[in-house]
Structure 1
């Protein structure tokens, strides 16, 4: 039979040694991203109309930029084939 004390001796969720090198940088970056995402979601929750207007504006600008790039690419490739 397995003793209950043996089961409690497993991984507790915190590493014995603190992270070093790349692991430390990755952990720091992940915590920074989590803080920024939380700040953005809090702002969007407090100001839903501003957030939706901002997203719509960014989408329209991105669409217009892509359209212009597509048009210029189409015109330059037509000149090459003549």
Structure 2
């Protein structure tokens, strides 16, 4: 067998028609998400202590807000719901 064969068994190249409409928007959004994820990952690699501190702080703030919202909704209703 030769190294270069003409295989037509599956898609191995680029599409001849350029995407348009919703397909174009979806591909563009996917590419942007990949770029942003790479940027975040490289930032975390360069500053691991800062990233972990931000994550921990965000978790503590979210927990505190959830706790306060839960307490305020429980205190606002004096009669039982199932009544």
Shorter-chain TM range is 0.7 to 0.9
**CA deviation string 1:5-60 (max 9, x = no partner):** 4xx12311422211110110010001001100100010000000000000000000
Partners of 2:42 and 2:64 lie apart in 1 by: 29
Who is 2:72 aligned against? 72
The answer for unaligned runs of 5 or more in structure 2 is none
Q: Where do 5+ consecutive residues of structure 1 fail to align?
A: none
- Give the equivalent residue in structure 1 for 2:55: 55
Count the aligned residue pairs. 76
Distance 2:26 2:68 in 1: 38
- Counterparts of 2:43 and 2:74, CA distance in 1: 41
Name the structure where helix makes up a greater proportion of residues. Answer: 1
Correspondence for 1:23: 23
Residue 80 (structure 1) shift = 3.9
Cα RMSD, aligned residues only: 1.7
